[in-house]
Amino acid sequence: MEFTAAVIAELLKGSVEGNPEAAVHDVSKIEEGRAGTLSFLANPKYEKYIYSTVSSIVIVNEDFVPQQPITATLIRVKNAYEAFGALLRLYEEQKPKKQGVSKLAAVASSVSLGAQVYVGEFTVISDNATIGDHVQLFPQVYIGEHVKIGEGTIIHPGAKIYEGCEIGARCIIHAGAIIGGDGFGFAPNQENNYEKVPQVGKVIMEDHVEIGANTTIDRATMGATILRKGVKLDNLIMIAHNVEVGENTVMAAQTGISGSTKIGSNCMFGGQVGLIGHIHIASGVKIAAQSGISKDIKEEGLVVQGSPAFEFGPYQRSYAIFRNLPKIRNQLIDLEHKISDLTSRA
C-alpha cells in the first residue's frame, strides 16, 4: 500500500515541505533510509542523518530548523515521535487479522467463543472460559478454566493464563508470559520444613494492558492481583501476589515487585528496579534503573534513585562525592601526616 506526503500530512494534521506527491510504501530508520520509505526525526542526536538519508519522506517537529539542504520531503507536526507512532498503529490496523479455530486446537465444549476470533494450532481453551469478540490466541497458548478475555485482546504464542483470571479488552500479552501462577506463599512447620500456602485468588488485568515476553504475574493468595487500565510491563518482569499497579504505570525490564505492594497511577520504573513487599508508592513516582525501594514513597511525583533509594538530586550529588572517596581518603591521610609533623615540631 502506497501513501503520498499530502495524504500522510492530512492524517497527521501536519504540513508538507517539499513534494506533496512524494510516495512511500514502507518505513525505515532515518540512519538507514531507503527510497520509497518514511522516516522520522525526533531526537536531536540523529539530526545529522536527515541531511544524508535517502528516505523519501521524513516527519519532523514543527520547530525543526535545518542547518543544511535536505533532499527528502518533510512533514512538520507538533510531535514527530507521537505522529510516527500513530502512523504505525494505523498501518498495523490495516493488516488482515487471522480468524477461525484451528483443527489442531483443543477447545472445550463449554467455552463461549466470540465472533471473528482466531485460535491457533495446539492452543488449549479449558472449560467455561469466555473469549470475547476479535480475540486472537496464537499457537500453543493455554487458557485455564473460567478465564475471561475481553474483546480485541491478543495473546502471543506460548503464553499461559491460569484458571479464573480476568483479562480486559484490547490487551496484548506477549510470548511466554504467565498470568496467574501461584504466589510465593510458604509457612514453616514444626519440623522446620516449608509447607505451601494454597493460592486461591486470581489476577485481574483491566483494559489496554500490555505484558512483555516471559513476564510473570502471580495470582493472589486471596482476592486479586490487579493491573489497572493502561499498565505497560516490559519483558522479564515479576509481579508478586496481591500487588496492585495503578493506571498507566510503566515498568522496564527485570523489575521485581514483592507481594502486597500497592503502586499508584502514572508511575515510571526503570530497568531492574526492586520493591520490597507491603509498601505503598504514590502516583506519578519515577524510579531510576537498578534502584531498591525499602519503604513507602508518599510524595506524589517524586523522582528517586539508589539502593536504598532516595531523592534523585541528593543522590546525584552524593554519588559525585562517593566516586571521589579514594582521592578524599588520600588527601585525609596526607593531612594527618602534615598535622602529625607539625605537632611533633611544636
| Catalytic sites, residue numbers | 241
HSE-CB for 327 with a 13 A CA cutoff: 5
In the chain, the N- to C-terminal Cα span, in Å, equals 91
Amino acid making up residue 279: I
Query: How many angstroms separate the CA atoms of 27 and 52, rounded?
Result: 16
Q: What angle do CA 39, 41, 44 make, to 5 degrees?
A: 155
Which amino acid is residue 14, in one-letter code? G
How far is residue 25 CA from its own chain's centroid?
A: 29
Report how far apart, in Å, the C-alpha atoms of 33 and of each of 22, 36, 48, 139, 202 are: 15, 9, 13, 34, 47
Mention every residue, 6+ apart, whose C-beta is less than 8 A from residue 36: 23, 24, 25, 26, 56
**Beta carbons within 10 angstroms of residue 342's beta carbon:** 9
- Say if CB 87 and CB 3 are below 8 A apart: no
Could you tell me which of 12, 58, 20, 11 has the C-alpha nearest to residue 37? 58
Apex CA 288: angle with CA 283 and CA 292, to 5°? 85
Separation between Cα atoms, residue 302 and residue 311, nearest integer Å? 7
Compute the C-alpha angle 160/155/159, nearest 5°: 25
Three-class secondary structure of residue 61 per DSSP: strand
Residue type, 254: Q
Burial class (CB in 10 A: 0-12, 13-18, 19+), 77: buried
Amino acid identity of 153?
T
The amino acid sitting at 161 is I
